[in-house]
Amino acid sequence: MSDLRAVYDILTDVYRQGAYASLALSRRVDSVRSRDFVTRFVYGVLDRDTELDHYIGAMVSRKPHGGTTILLKMGMYCVLYMDSVPDYAAVNNTIELAKAVGKGASSGFLNGVLKAFCKKRPALPADKVARLSVTASVPLWIVRAYVKQYGWDKTQEFLTAKPEEREHMRVDVARISVADMCKKLDELGVDHSPDPDLGDALFVRNTPALKALYDGGLFTWQSKCSMLCCRAAAPASGEKALDMCAAPGGKAVYLSSLADGVSVTACDIYHHRLQLIQSYAARMHRNIDVRLMDATAPAKEMYGAYDVVLCDVPCSNLGVAAKKPDVYLSKDAASVASLAEVQYKILCSGARCVKEGGKVVYSTCTLLKEENGDIVKRFLKEHREFVSEGEKQYFPDGAGMDGFFVSVLRRKGL
């Protein structure tokens, strides 16, 4: 029961306190019997949150409060997705957990709803967009926005793509060849395969056996899209690059390795996040100039000082929701509109910092056009001294790609 209690407590932190799932897990997971079970259960419930809300709404006339809803979601998730647990055990475990967390008064309600759910699932919506919202477990307002922007077929395709379960490894080829890294992985018995698009990357099954290689800086975990973003920035030998929103440091470090003598300045608005960048750079044996800076208000001495400026801006993170399903919990259309204004300010600030003839790379890990293409169109309309050198919207594809946007903007020279 202790592991189930941990799942309940972690989900309570996420649902009721607004905690990030990864941080809530890290605070509690060391005290459990099975880290794997707790992690899979927590992320499973969060991943199916929209679907579970649909079933609850279809079965009760009035949604219960707080902890009772969390217990219902846990019970329903167990019935739907944990084949090793019989339905009666899922119901009984939920009732016992309710008593253990002080929700014993809800036992009768939970018992009745869960037993009815075991007998018959509520119908899915008749409308195909609403049905996709439930089956893909994505909030309806987001699905509607995707269908409007990309059409039904494309939306259905990327929302139903199953994510690659393995992690994306960037090999530090300055210190070890990919071939030698593969030999080490073979010796450790670690499952791996090449990234067909990036010669310095592998898809790898993350295991504790990799810790020494990671701590030694021979590789780092970096998403495919993050690497592609840096490749689009493509600093040349001896150039100066600025990463406006750099924490935790992966892109800044990679930029510094893409050509000889690249000088990288990495900025963030919070002191504690600067420490993350410094630690990342130290582990990867890279020298990075780390500065405290509000990306919407760079110091004037930075104006026109850089050949390459990366604006990987704060965003809704909807493109990585398959890995971080809790991102859906705090997003709505108003929050996206608010983010778009910040994103535009950061892009304009980045433009001030680039030299004539230099380039600004704007990127997000989201799919909504109001955070991506619309920002770039507005920028080009209001900044005639810049021209587009191309943009790309990446979609989740089930083969290691996340939802990601990147645009390269060149400042005209004399």
Q: Considering the chain, what percentage of its residues have pLDDT values greater than 70?
A: 100
Whether the CA torsion 143, 146, 148, 151 is positive or negative: it is: negative
User: How far apart, in whole angstroms, are the C-alpha atoms of residue 267 and residue 247?
Assistant: 8
Q: What is the pTM of this model?
A: 0.93
User: How far apart, in whole angstroms, are the C-alpha atoms of residue 266 and residue 83?
Assistant: 47
Please tell me the predicted confidence (pLDDT) of residue 245: 95
Please tell me the predicted confidence (pLDDT) of residue 414: 60
Please spell the DSSP secondary structure of 79-116, one letter per residue: HHH-TTS-HHHHHHHHHHHHHHTT-GGGHHHHHHHHHH
- Full set of structural domains in the chain with CATH: 2-119 (1.10.940.10), 128-159 (no CATH), 167-221 (3.30.70.1170), 233-411 (3.40.50.150)
- Say which residues have a Cβ less than 8 Å from residue 345's Cβ, sequence separation at least 6: 296
Whether the CA torsion 327, 331, 335, 341 is positive or negative: it is: positive
Please tell me the predicted confidence (pLDDT) of residue 84: 86
Please tell me the predicted confidence (pLDDT) of residue 35: 85
Distances (CA, A) of 151 to 129, 145, 256, 400: 11, 9, 39, 23
Which residues of the chain carry a pLDDT beneath 50?
none
User: How far apart, in whole angstroms, are the C-alpha atoms of residue 40 and residue 126?
Assistant: 31
Please tell me the predicted confidence (pLDDT) of residue 36: 86
Q: Is 355 left (phi over 0), alpha (psi -120 to 50) or beta?
A: beta
Please tell me the predicted confidence (pLDDT) of residue 65: 79
Q: What is the pLDDT of residues 360-397, one digit of tens each?
A: 999 999 999 999 999 999 999 999 999 999 999 999 99
